[in-house]
A and B are shown apart, each in its own frame.
Chain A
């Protein structure tokens, strides 16, 4: 028997190392994906190394040098309290990425669990859960976060919580629709046939197969989380000054937008670059994770 099998095997199976390298190459060849990934890795490095990279402390005021224009000492100038803009931007990257990461972790965990249970259970449970989900979806995400922060007071934790609650229903809706397409596939029935319980089938087979499209959605929602944090901070409802966040910097600079436009603009640019990088990453993941999209990869970008 095994002698007959040998030729079949060598013809069909690809050595494992080569398959991994091929997969990696596929991700890195996608121009949007690699660009987005590069920018985000750079930003993460800046955020982690902030204490060593920043030339000044984020709240260190030089009252002799308020609203200074760019110079050798203050590369991007200072704000009305004489704080170095570049240092504040570097420290602000920490808050923004922290919010993005925490929101992704929270909304991915709860959203995918809610969506998966609803989609897998079906029946009245699905209908009730999705009704609640749709009600939350009907609120504009930012408005919901605004109301929650207004009710609970403004702090970094509350901003994260509020934005997560606003974005969890989006993840849940996507998760449910993916799970509905996986539920009728034969390997799910096969798992039941070997005597697996429903919860086990859900965790071991449904979730892992449903995750790729959901990861794409959460990548894009990380971008909206950064925007939401900046927006809340700008309105004074987010992380409180004098902590350096990109939203606070824009807010600080708005009074001097004509005389010192660099304060608000530089922070705005940071937000824009991060959001674009996250969107590129999301699009890239969508293209490379879905086998049916793979062959278009690159063609469209070039």
Chain B
């Protein structure tokens, strides 16, 4: 593993810098209510990523992590904010310039079955990006074979079709297609979550090899905390379109500050049966909220165990919300970022740190230590 990114990106511009990036999806139907709030899939997200670094993005379904990945490639047009790639603002690029930029930023998709054209042979699939970008001057067959070998495919696979391969092999084809252009940044949208666990490890090792060879930046989107812990230098936790906690991997997993991170950690399965039985999970209250109708104050408060613990403390001012007494701050005010140093930041009124660390957080970290 490489040292944490902050040590590396000391000077100069990072590979990717995202500032205040937002995406609101509006209902475009003819007779919809005018001026509806829309779905705030990604809301003021900021982060940076250095070359050779892996930033893991975790969150539940609906947290906006996949939209974030597509925003970085501008497959989805941002509503607000800036994306700087290699120091260049790519939010203002024309379609033509954008296509050229995509030579350097590539994406690996979750679904290895759906993301390959079923009517094209493997060789054609791998060659296609080079043809599109005018890098095909005949006789580039050797480059196709080189990329295929790089990802662990054999030369004779080139004339076969995607349906003749297993999921893991198909994901290799998808990786070969992305690597054909020698990109600098890879956006990986749940690259292993559709694969068998045994194949997951092979693909992750392959990705890591490729990263080390070319000093690639990885934006690694996943819902599996164990996988993210394994691959990332830094981790961002998303909830309802917002990064609620971001920090170096070890700091985030050993002393999570945001109650949502704690809840996710306590849900990671533990390989030992005895320990799995013996542990208690922090049960999240209810489902992930709706991004159309965001809760007031802190958007996590309707599901937060910490808010409920805090509300029992007579010193904390509380208000009635949805039939429960919760701290007034959580229900009414947007929380501010709390910085624990070394780039470890969470947005919470009552972060799990220092003397305020609850028993729940301690146990969650302890039980998740066995996992991953």
Q: Measuring CB to CB, which residues of chain A are less than 8 angstroms from any residue of chain B?
A: 1-2, 4-5, 8-9, 12-14, 16, 19, 185-187, 189-197, 200, 204-205, 208-209
Asked if B99 and A195 sit within 8 Å, CB to CB, the answer is yes
Asked if A8 and B169 sit within 8 Å, CB to CB, the answer is yes
Whose C-beta in chain B lies nearest to the C-beta of A198?
A: B95
User: Assuming A9-B154, A187-B118, A193-B107, what are 13 further A-B pairs, CB within 8 angstroms?
Assistant: A8-B169, A9-B157, A12-B166, A16-B159, A186-B110, A187-B114, A187-B116, A187-B117, A189-B115, A194-B132, A194-B178, A194-B181, A195-B100
Whose C-beta in chain A lies nearest to the C-beta of B103?
A: A195
Contact A190/B164 with A5-B154, A197-B99 known, Cβ cut-off 8 Å: no
Asked if B133 and A187 sit within 8 Å, CB to CB, the answer is no
Whose C-beta in chain A lies nearest to the C-beta of B96?
A: A197
CB contacts (< 8 Å) of A190 on chain B: these are: 107, 109, 115-116, 174, 177
Contact A187/B166 with A193-B73, A193-B102, A197-B99 known, Cβ cut-off 8 Å: no
CB contacts (< 8 Å) of A8 on chain B: these are: 166, 168-169
Q: 0/1 per residue, B189-211, Cβ < 8 Å to A? A: 00000000000001000100000
Asked if A194 and B166 sit within 8 Å, CB to CB, the answer is no
Asked if A185 and B132 sit within 8 Å, CB to CB, the answer is no
- Residue of B95, B103, B109, B117 touching A209 (CB-CB under 8 A): B117
Size class of the B contact interface (CB-based, 8 Å): 35 or more
Return the 10 tightest CB-CB contacts between A and B, nearest first. A195-B102, A186-B114, A186-B115, A195-B99, A194-B129, A1-B152, A193-B107, A190-B115, A13-B164, A187-B117
| CA–CA, A16 and B122, complex, Å | 13
Asked if B103 and A205 sit within 8 Å, CB to CB, the answer is no
17 contacts between A and B (CB under 8 A): A8-B168, A9-B154, A12-B164, A12-B165, A12-B166, A13-B165, A14-B164, A16-B160, A189-B109, A190-B109, A190-B174, A193-B109, A194-B128, A194-B177, A195-B98, A195-B103, A204-B128
B119 at the interface (CB under 8 A from A): yes
CB contacts (< 8 Å) of B114 on chain A: these are: 185-187
B106 at the interface (CB under 8 A from A): yes
Most B-side CB within 10 Å, residue of A4, A186, A191: A186
For residue B174, give the distance in angstroms from its CB to the closest CB of chain A: 8
| CA–CA, A2 and B150, complex, Å | 10
CB contacts (< 8 Å) of A197 on chain B: these are: 95, 99
| CA–CA, A174 and B75, complex, Å | 28
B111 at the interface (CB under 8 A from A): yes
Contact A192/B181 with A8-B168, A187-B117 known, Cβ cut-off 8 Å: no
| CA–CA, A8 and B165, complex, Å | 9
CB contacts (< 8 Å) of A191 on chain B: these are: 117, 128
| CA–CA, A193 and B95, complex, Å | 12
For residue B238, give the distance in angstroms from its CB to the closest CB of chain A: 21
Asked if B75 and A189 sit within 8 Å, CB to CB, the answer is yes
For residue B195, give the distance in angstroms from its CB to the closest CB of chain A: 12
For residue B331, give the distance in angstroms from its CB to the closest CB of chain A: 39
Asked if A196 and B132 sit within 8 Å, CB to CB, the answer is yes
| CA–CA, A190 and B159, complex, Å | 21
| CA–CA, A200 and B134, complex, Å | 13
| CA–CA, A263 and B10, complex, Å | 94
